[in-house]
């Protein structure tokens, strides 16, 4: 009876010892698998980033395109060799070399179609939205929207592009708006129009 008991205990100890010896390998394998899964998910996120949503556009841009169902925000770096020319031509400093624009899309008729583009600029501490049309491959202002400045003043920018002077007192008149504000806004609009031409406009011979 004692021999049987000793034998049983010996077998039990051997089994427990084997399980203990195998246990670290099991944990290592599990960790490796989990790590591989995490790496795979990270790789998938890098290759397939989350789709942009309508929230990529501020409310002021959405209001300019009431028929649009979705927006895509675009980033483009202004080339270093263009910065000096832009600042010389506009008499202003580039606010940010990372230029942002918003493309508006409509899904009417089951087809996704671009219905316009817009940018947001700042002047005198206020934000303004510039809505663009395309004319012969160049961006042309359709309208400028914003608060705190009369619509009569803002309407002067409609139809203007990079070929226009867009200087206060020439193409643009103060029209009752405080001259400092009018000058700051005119410079900001001119800078954006010329930047849009540099980044997206067709090449010109002039």
**pTM (2 decimals)?**
0.72
SS3 content of the chain, % helix, strand, coil (to 5): 50, 25, 30
- Measured in degrees and rounded to the nearest 5, phi and psi for residue 54 equal -60, -25
In a 3-state reduction of DSSP, which class is residue 15?
helix
Return the domain boundaries, the chain. Answer: 1-50, 54-200
Answer for the pair 68, 104: CB distance below 8 angstroms, yes or no. yes
CA torsion 90→93→95→100, rounded to 10°?
Answer: 30
Q: H or E element: which one contains 133?
A: strand 126-135
- Rounded Cα gap, residues 5 and 124, in angstroms: 93
Task: Measure the N-to-C terminal CA separation of the chain; round to a whole number of Å.
Answer: 109
184: which 2 tokens?
């700051």
CA pair distance 111, 63, nearest whole angstrom = 21
Alpha carbon distance 176, 118 (integer Å): 26
Quote the tokens at residue 106: 């409509």
Task: Classify 55 as helix, strand or coil.
Answer: helix
What whole-number distance in Å separates Cα of residue 55 and Cα of residue 62?
9
Residue 141: helix, strand or coil by DSSP? strand
Residue 83 DSSP SS3: helix
Per-residue pLDDT for the chain (206 aa), expressed as one digit of tens each? 444 434 333 333 343 333 343 344 444 333 333 443 434 343 444 444 444 444 579 999 999 999 999 999 999 999 999 999 999 988 889 999 999 999 999 998 889 999 999 999 999 999 999 999 999 889 999 999 999 999 999 999 999 999 999 999 999 999 899 999 999 999 999 999 999 999 999 876 44
């Amino acid at each position: 009876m004692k021999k049987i008991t000793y034998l049983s205990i010996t077998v039990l100890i051997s089994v427990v010892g084997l399980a203990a010896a195998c246990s670290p390998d099991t944990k290592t394998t599990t960790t490796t698998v989990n790590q591989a899964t995490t790496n795979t998910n990270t790789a998938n996120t890098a290759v397939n980033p989350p789709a942009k949503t309508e929230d990529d556009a501020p409310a002021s841009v959405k209001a300019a395109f009431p028929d649009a169902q979705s927006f895509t925000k675009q980033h483009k770096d202004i080339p270093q060799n263009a910065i000096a020319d832009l600042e010389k031509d506009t008499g202003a400093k580039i606010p940010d070399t990372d230029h942002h624009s918003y493309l508006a899309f409509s899904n009417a008729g089951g087809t996704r179609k671009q219905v316009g583009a817009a940018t947001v600029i700042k002047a005198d501490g206020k934000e303004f939205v510039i809505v663009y049309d395309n004319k012969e491959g160049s961006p042309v202002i359709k309208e400028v929207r914003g608060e705190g400045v009369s619509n009569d003043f803002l309407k002067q920018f409609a139809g203007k592009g990079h070929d226009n002077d867009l200087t206060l007192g020439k193409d643009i008149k103060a029209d009752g708006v405080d001259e400092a504000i009018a000058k700051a806004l005119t410079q900001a609009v001119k800078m954006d129009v010329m930047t849009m031409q540099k980044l997206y406009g067709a090449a010109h011979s002039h």
